[in-house]
Chains A and B, each alone.
Chain A
Amino acid sequence: MMKLKVGKELHEVSPHIEINRSTKVIMQDVVIAMMPALLGAVFFFGINSLILVLTAVTTCVLSEYIWQRSRKEQLTVSDWSAVVTGILIAFNVPSTTPIWAVMVASIFAIIIVKQFFGGIGSNFANPALMGRALLIFLWPSSISNYVTTFTSGTDAISSATVLGLYKSGSDFSQFSKWDMFIGNIPGSLGETSALLLLIGFAYLCYRRVVNLAATGAYISTVLLITFIFAKDGLFKGDILTNLLSGGLILGACFMMTDYASVAPRVKVILAVIAGLITAGIRLWGMLPEGVSYGILIANCLSGLIEAIIRPHIYGVRLKKQKDRT
């Protein structure tokens, strides 16, 4: 039985200097990075977007607080991770989503997906995406009513997403590539504007919060596969539409980089797996979009991949060689 120091005694142990960064700072950085996309959502889809985001954030934070308070656990609600989850939940639904649906998704994400499994860091999958998945399973109609943006006409009218039109072979020429880039297309709140998401992502890179390799691996896998196996024939995929029109950039920049798997090499492998699944769903699945399932399945596989990928431990391989000879 080891006697480990706890609490105040840990004061004495080395190292005595620490990096100028904490969980809270990281989470605040992610929130800051999502602000441009949030403003864009309000601009494109109206004040309803803001209401949904605030509802989701409030519900997430409150659920976490009440849960930890009632179970007398260490209060971690001040680390801002519930805020990130809340914003991501709202970002993953269209602006027409009823408020109760967002609240249900938030409670499910925080209590079941996060706290049941041990709270921050112990969740097996991205809570926000699990919240969205719950809505798709139970009340698919609540989050399937995509509308056009304010800027594209006077009133918001129901419209399929560009990816949906692309998949069904319909004409989507009313949406230019520029509209897709700046976010002037129907879609979930936070996913439409590649430009604003990338601004946020650039900030995260500047703050060294994210693993650029995982983001790159995910995006390039999706684009490569959808380009090669396009329905019009091999090597005829529409790269820009695939990149800009769905949730790919939101997923790659803010959810693939979520901390569910650890080793850098494992992260890249998981990103490739997520990319394959996303592309597979986009090409051959029933749904037009596969970002959330791709990432969720990759999340669930992280334990397996970590067990397969052997880390390189200093001197151990050499020792085994020497022992054999």
Chain B
Amino acid sequence: MRHYFHGGIHPSDGTDKLLSNQKPIRIYNPKTVEISMKQSPGSVCEAIVKMGDRVSKGDLIGTPKSFGGANIHAGISGTVIDIKKHPDSSYKNVEIIVIESDDYNDNNEDAIYSARNYEERIIDLSKYTKDIIIAKMKDGGLTGLGGAGFPSHIKYETKEPIEYILINAAECEPYLTCDHMLMMEHGYAIVNGILLFIKASGSKKAIICLEDNKQDVAKVLESIIADKELPIEIKILPTRYPQGGERQLVEAVLGMEVPAGKLPASIGVIINNVGTAKALADIVLGDEPLISRVVTVTGKVKEQGNFLEPIGTRYSELIELAGGYTTTKSRLIGGGPMTGSVLQTGGNHEELTGSVLKISSGLIVLEDTPKDESPCIRCGECERVCPAGLAPFKIDFAAIEDDIKLCDKLYATECISCGSCSYVCPAKRELAYRITEAKTEIYRTRWQ
């Protein structure tokens, strides 16, 4: 079976991951958290607590207002000292719940996670039925931890028969190492989580998809599943971006394509991030909703590392933990460098606003270099690397001319916004940005 998807790039020489891929996960307990009611781009929640309320760790504090939202829980025990309103591009005001810890001690040895049996052995899951697991996913506010933040229970409520679960452990974005370290340290929890996914979907088998730059992880996971006859397989794929795109992963691992406009479930596949598997184990076996995650803080900071902290931890505190910026011309990226967004340009990390979301995988400090677009020279690199098989430069021209019909004809809707085209463009054109805008515009006009 082939292990390739169409197109793709090598956006790094691998040295960027070395900055943090051997740094054990550090646990951080903040004194206050600012939990946003908008945890992923497509959804918003409503606060169900008032100022002055006392909440315990794991209490429900926000419920979804729209499809695509998931419950939000308090990451620490304490008092709600403020509910801020934050203006937002797609929703009028997003509430931010500020909780101040009342039993705060900064002894980090008092870990968020005490030792749990599912971290040490495979658990007998016979008492958990499909419905129980899906209900717990929903209650526990489980969303994909890879980047899109789609609520997991919606994926598993599908009517389609599911054959395979793909566990996305490719972590194909440069710099990010949070999944890498999570797998190194929480192998058993992840395997238990994967077994829960299998039960929740009724599928035959799960495949853990790793890239070959994580051989150490493969060894750890293999030793866990060895001789236990678990329906789990480990597949090692050649390192290439965007391996971790759902559709690309299906193509690379199963040799199948997902029909355009359909979900992978339509061909019997569900894809979950490896971090989501760990979170599911915490929810079902550890009775703790999704209230924390691992974030990689790397790039031009003094001390790169991977930090486990409650959702809502301020970004500024994480940068402080990593020793601050080591460059004056900084560009802080939230997420991976290929698809993430700019959180701050230049300045000092103390002026930084915002806090960790369920989808925050990394805080990356890059040198802020100027970007200048020049005319397309038709070298064809963008078309060669496009994993969707598009001709990005043509869609780019059409988008600039505001010819939405032509964009549609050129299948701009199939763009996965991976950024490979912009990355390789020698003329430095922002192809991915304009194609993504065109895609949004096409959907908007279709709905009208």
Contact = CB atoms under 8 A, between A and B. Distances in A.
A22 B380 contact: no
A292 B378 CA distance: 20
28 contacts: A2-B402, A4-B437, A12-B342, A14-B333, A14-B339, A17-B337, A18-B423, A19-B9, A19-B423, A22-B374, A22-B427, A23-B377, A23-B426, A25-B426, A26-B379, A26-B426, A81-B377, A120-B375, A262-B393, A264-B380, A313-B414, A314-B247, A314-B258, A316-B260, A318-B258, A318-B260, A319-B260, A322-B262
Given A119-B375, A314-B387, A15 B337 contact: yes
Given A22-B426, A261-B378, A4 B399 contact: yes
Interface range, B side: 35 or more
Interface of A: 1-2, 4-5, 10-19, 21-23, 25-26, 74, 76, 79, 81, 118-122, 211, 259-264, 267, 311-319, 321-322
Contacts of A12: 341-342
Contacts of B257: 314-315, 317-318
Nearest to B422: A15
Contacts of B376: 121
Contact of A322 (B12, B259, B428, B432): B259
B11 interface: yes
A319 B393 CA distance: 24
B152 to A, nearest CB: 23
Nearest to A321: B259
Contacts of A262: 378-380, 383, 391, 393
Contacts of B441: 2
Nearest to B9: A19
Contact of A314 (B6, B366, B402, B434): B6
B341 A313 contact: no
A16 B411 contact: no
B6 A122 contact: no
A313 B389 contact: yes
Q: Which 5 A-B pairs have the closest CB atoms?
A: A15-B419, A262-B380, A315-B260, A13-B433, A318-B259
A2 B404 contact: yes
A10 B390 contact: no
Interface in B329-385: 331, 333, 337-342, 345, 364, 366, 370-371, 373-380, 383-384
B338 A14 contact: yes
B84 to A, nearest CB: 23
Interface string B396-414: 0001101010000001001
Contacts of B423: 15, 17-19
B430 A319 contact: no
A12 B345 CA distance: 9
Contacts of B432: 13-15
A265 to B, nearest CB: 10
Given A2-B399, A79-B374, A319-B259, A14 B426 contact: no
Interface of B: 6, 9, 11-12, 174, 247, 251, 257-262, 331, 333, 337-342, 345, 364, 366, 370-371, 373-380, 383-384, 387-391, 393, 399-400, 402, 404, 411, 414, 419, 422-428, 430, 432-434, 437-438, 441
B378 A11 contact: no
Contact of B373 (A1, A10, A120, A121): A10
B340 A14 contact: yes
B53 to A, nearest CB: 37
B378 A121 contact: yes
A263 B7 CA distance: 12
Contacts of B378: 121, 259-262
Contacts of B430: 10, 13
Contact of A315 (B9, B259, B340, B428): B259
Contacts of B258: 314-315, 318
A259 B251 contact: no
A155 B387 CA distance: 59
A25 B377 CA distance: 13
A23 B375 CA distance: 9
Contacts of B426: 19, 21-23, 25-26
A10 B411 contact: no
B174 A17 contact: yes
A264 B389 CA distance: 12
Contacts of A19: 9, 11, 423-426
Contacts of B370: 11
A84 B13 CA distance: 31
A259 B377 contact: yes
Nearest to B381: A19
B260 A14 contact: no
Contacts of B393: 262
A314 B377 contact: no
Given A19-B423, A259-B379, A314-B247, 14 more contacts: A5-B433, A10-B371, A14-B341, A15-B337, A16-B337, A19-B11, A21-B426, A22-B428, A23-B426, A259-B377, A263-B380, A263-B383, A263-B391, A315-B260
A261 B393 CA distance: 12
Contact of B342 (A16, A18, A26): A16
A170 to B, nearest CB: 42
Contacts of B399: 2, 4
Contact of A17 (B260, B366, B375): B366
A314 B333 contact: no
